């Protein structure tokens, strides 16, 4: 049976998990297993076979005091749930403090999922870029000038290729795929999420789609993201509302944990050194 997408109006088979046109999730496939408490988040973390918190730098249910850490805990004195990030210099940015445990848990849950995807992406790129063939060593004691030259050329070629692929995977790819955030072009502020663009329409965020004005602005921004970038997080000085409070937030951040998207493999390595530890989140 075909259903109509609530966000873009496209019709598609109800057996699909998401709209093939705009990516909005099919309501009948919404995740019902999303953790709502700190204990449930701990269980989710364990089921994903993630490395120890000292490796991932995500401390669930712990008021961790050292630099470079994300965490959540309940302050027994006030009853508040606190979601925090300890920066590289040891200062703390509080993402949320209040009585709503479900909201607090979701804040760290979404950040953890983003980091898992990022780490898995880095591992994939390292594997695809680091499979160079090593030049064989040894052999006869005497070589012709040509064979020696070819051996040396092959050796240095693979070193350069490996270093280039490593730089590309660690620096270029993450930058290319991390365009989420607020952008300003003239007096217009747009928001980018997973390469989809949104504009502030009076009192709410709307997807640009074929709306010509904002679409042209988005195309201009895409030619040079850095020139128009404001920040990843909303600021009260912006005349637009917080995109995280829009109806689109859940559809872009919700997913089913029944698949293996967030399961961690023992063959993968986790490197938190590339995390931006100076930002607030």
Range of lowest pLDDT (8-12, 114-118, 123-127, 250-254): 250-254
Q: Which 8-state DSSP code applies to residue 171?
A: I
**Phi, psi dihedral angles at 83 (to 5 degrees):** -110, 130
**Residues 91-121: pLDDT tens digits?**
999 999 999 999 999 999 999 998 998 898 8
Instruction: Determine the pLDDT at residue 101.
Output: 95
Rounded Cα distance between 55 and 62, Å, is 15
Residue-range domain boundaries for the chain: 1-30, 34-125, 181-255
Instruction: Determine the pLDDT at residue 140.
Output: 40
Q: Chain centroid to CA 261: how far?
A: 13
> pLDDT: is 211 or 180 the higher one?
180
CB 120 within 8 A of CB 174: no
Instruction: Determine the pLDDT at residue 252.
Output: 72
- Is the pLDDT at 171 greater than 60? The verdict is no
Rounded Cα distance between 114 and 279, Å, is 15
Instruction: Determine the pLDDT at residue 113.
Output: 92
Cβ partners under 8 Å of residue 53, min gap 6: 59, 60, 62, 64
Instruction: Determine the pLDDT at residue 98.
Output: 96
Q: Report strand pairing: 196-201 vs 204-207.
A: antiparallel
Nearest to 86 by CA among 66, 56, 104: 66
Dihedral angle over CA of 146, 151, 157, 162, nearest 10: 170
- Is the pLDDT at 144 greater than 90? The verdict is no
Instruction: Determine the pLDDT at residue 138.
Output: 39
Cβ partners under 8 Å of residue 182, min gap 6: 189, 190, 191, 229, 230, 231, 232, 234, 235, 238, 240, 243
């Amino acid at each position: 049976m075909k259903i109509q997408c609530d966000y873009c109006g496209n019709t598609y088979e109800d057996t699909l998990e998401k709209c093939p046109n705009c990516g909005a999730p099919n309501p009948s496939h919404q995740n019902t297993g999303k953790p709502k408490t700190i204990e449930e988040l701990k269980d989710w973390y364990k089921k994903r076979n993630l490395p120890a918190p000292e490796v991932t730098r995500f401390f669930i249910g712990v008021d961790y005091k050292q630099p470079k850490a994300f965490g959540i805990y309940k302050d027994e004195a006030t009853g508040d749930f606190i979601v925090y990030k300890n920066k590289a210099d040891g200062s703390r940015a509080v993402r949320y403090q209040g009585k709503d445990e479900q909201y607090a848990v979701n804040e760290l849950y979404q950040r953890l999922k983003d980091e898992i995807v990022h780490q898995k992406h880095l591992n994939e790129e390292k594997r695809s870029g680091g499979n160079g063939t090593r030049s064989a060593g040894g052999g006869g004691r005497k070589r012709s000038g040509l064979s020696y030259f070819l051996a040396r050329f092959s050796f240095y070629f693979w070193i350069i290729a490996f270093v280039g692929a490593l730089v590309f995977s660690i620096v270029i790819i993450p930058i290319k795929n991390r365009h989420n955030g607020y952008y300003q072009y003239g007096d217009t502020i747009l928001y980018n999420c997973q390469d989809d663009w949104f504009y502030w329409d009076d009192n709410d965020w709307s997807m640009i789609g074929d709306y010509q004005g904002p679409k042209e602005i988005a195309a201009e921004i895409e030619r040079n993201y850095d020139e128009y970038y404001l920040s990843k997080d909303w600021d009260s000085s912006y005349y637009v509302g917080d995109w995280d409070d829009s109806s689109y937030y859940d559809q872009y951040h919700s997913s089913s944990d029944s698949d293996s998207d967030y399961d961690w493999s023992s063959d993968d390595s986790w490197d938190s050194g590339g995390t931006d530890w100076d930002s607030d989140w």
